[in-house]
Amino acid sequence: MTQGFDHDLYMKMQTEQIVKRIEKFDNKLYLEFGGKLFDDYHAARVLPGFEMNAKIRILQELKEKTEIIFCIGAGDIEKNKVRADIGITYDMDVLRLIDSIRRLGLTVSSVVITRYTDQPAADTFRKKLEMLGLTTYIHRPIKGYPTNVDLIVSQDGYGSNPYIETTKPLVVVTGPGAGSGKLATCLSQVYYEHTKGIHAGYAKFETFPIWNLPLKHPVNLAYEAATADLNDVNMIDPFHLEAYGTTTVNYNRDIEAFPVVKTILSKVTGDKDGYQSPTDMGVNMAGFCIVDDECVREASKQEVLRRYYKIRCDHKMGRVDIDAVEKVELIMKALDLEPTDRTVVEPALEKAEQTGAPAVAAQLPDGSILTGKTSDLMTAPAAMTLNSLKYLAGIADEILLLSPVVLKPILRLKKLMQPGREPVLNLKEVLTALSICEATNPLASLVLAKLPAMKGCEVHCSNILSVNDEQSLRELGLNVTCEPEFPTKNLYNL
């Protein structure tokens, strides 16, 4: 793949800027982390060359200076809010992320449950955290927040929150998703630090939109498409334009919140000449590390196409309103894109029409298109993956790799556990069977060794995938899209 982004340069520049910001604020910076700490597939797709775990690697570089606070909204715990990309609830994601961070040698100092109003589920989660040995804090809503600045910046406002004990110069404040209370937690801590005579500061680390790219650059439009369900809109930062005469890009929520944030920070710190714009608050050097703009533009257009299919499937399943679909369609028009501009779409649809069964197409690293269809034995994703692996290993299509001795017990067990349904093997089950066949068939080993070669391949399905197959394809690192059609008329088990 052509590299459009210099990852090493980004690591160097971003780390340097964070250190400078720490030094600016008397060696105490509360850095709000937007987006994903781990597995930022979106950034890796729109900026070819960007490593998806760049953020956490930057923190590893600064680990002697860094500790991390997690925020989670009590309402999100109560509603069992789910992260759509990995299918787990926000509270479980906090535990998952803490485990991952600790394995890398980074310090997680505490968890803050924000906007707490005695929700029973939040109480249960807090007890669980404490049983696991995690320090927890409760932040209740502040009356008049965020407009009543005099109350907010007082003992009855931020002063009513417990002070979160920290010891490192860089305190990263993050959460499982938007609306977790990260900003309010940062500002509350800055308030407390200043009451203790420490000139602490606040900044924000968020990769998108990229402030020094044009408003309608495909990278920034891909971010809009990715957040269509959140009603995020990229905008020219009017505060930055007025203060410096320079055009920069930010998004509506930060722009709308800036006057209040600036007023609060000014009142807390006594510094009337602090940040002049939301762009000033950000620490984001990504725009300086694009080395092939045309490559990045094309990658971003392909991401818009992926987001188009995802939002249509989400709408079909009742997860988003039609407004979100229409917003992505407008972005498609702005970029002069058609749904079929995604290379794997037409082969998948043609295979489905020819066979009368659900079908999947994948584009392999050499540009070849391989397909698979649902059969009495396996699902379309399983068939496509098996066909692709055989192609990559140079094994003829007619050679059978899966031994009936292995398959029959699996099928028998599935039928026993799901009576009344004809058993069909999903992708994970086929790969498991293939790994068992390694014991007696050297060709199976040869095929499985090609799995890493499929990472990053584009895949399209003629219908909405089952949860199991979609998850398996994503675990293999494939970029998956689907037609917004159900595979059967059954009401359960998509």
Which string of DSSP letters, residue by residue, matches 304-330?
A: HHHHHHHHHHHHHTTSS-HHHHHHHHH
- Reported as a pLDDT band with limits 50, 70 and 90, residue 343 is very high
Percent of the chain topping pLDDT 70: 98
Distance CA 445, CA 443 (A): 5
Residue 310 lies in a domain: no
Per-residue model confidence as pLDDT tens digits over 84-114? 667 789 999 999 999 999 999 999 999 999 9
Listed residues 270, 289, 308: the one ending a domain: 289
Residue 415 lies inside a defined structural domain of this protein: yes
pLDDT digits (tens, 9 = 90+) for 260-295: 999 999 999 888 778 999 999 999 999 999 999 999
The CATH number covering residue 212 comes to 3.10.630.10
Final residue before a domain boundary, out of 226, 260, 289: 289
- Indicate whether this model's pTM tops 0.85: yes
Asked whether residue 126 falls in the same domain as residue 240, the answer is yes
* Residue 318 covered by a domain: no
Claim to verify: residue 262 and residue 378 sit in the same structural domain: no
Residue 410 structure tokens: 């699996």
Each residue's pLDDT tens digit, 344-397: 999 999 999 999 999 999 999 999 999 999 998 999 999 999 999 999 999 998
Same domain, 235 and 368: no
| pLDDT at residue 5 tops 80 | yes
Beta-carbon contacts of residue 111 (< 8 Å; ≥ 6 apart):
69, 70, 71, 72, 94, 98, 129, 134, 135, 136, 137
Rg, Å, the chain Cα set: 25
Residues 243, 366, single domain; the answer is no
Report the Cα 136 to chain-centroid distance in Å.
25
CA distance 77 to 72: 8
Query: Do residues 285 and 367 share a domain?
Result: no
Distances 68 to 108, 125, 182, 425 between C-alpha atoms, Å? 5, 19, 12, 42
160 and 280 share a domain? yes
Q: What are phi and psi for residue 272, nearest 5 degrees?
A: -80, -15
270, 355: one domain: no
- Tally of structural domains, the chain: 2
Mean pLDDT of the chain: 93
Is 306 a domain residue?
A: no
Same domain, 136 and 220: yes
Q: Are residues 352 and 233 in the same domain?
A: no
Task: Note the pLDDT of residue 85.
Answer: 67
Domain end (from 265, 289, 313): 289
Q: pLDDT band for position 297 (50/70/90)?
A: very high
Looking at the domain assignment, is residue 492 inside a domain?
Answer: no
Closest CA to 330 of 191, 196, 225: 225
| 262 and 364 fall within a common domain | no
- Residue 80 within a domain: yes
Give 167-220 pLDDT, tens digit per residue. 999 999 999 988 899 999 999 999 999 999 999 999 999 899 999 999 999 999
Whether 116 is in a domain gets the answer yes
CA 322 to chain centre: 22
Please tell me the predicted confidence (pLDDT) of residue 494: 47
Nearest to 205 by CA among 178, 173, 236, 237: 173
Q: Are residues 283 and 392 in the same domain?
A: no
| Pair (283, 348) in one structural domain | no
Q: Which two tokens stand for residue 112?
A: 């803050």
Distance CA 56, CA 445 (A): 34
Does residue 358 have a cis bond before it (omega within 30 degrees)? no
CATH number, residue 399: 3.40.140.40
Cβ-contact 85, 467 below 8 angstroms: no
Domain containing residue 237: 7-289
Amino acid identity of residue 451, one-letter, is: L
Q: 34 falls in which pLDDT band (50, 70, 90)?
A: confident
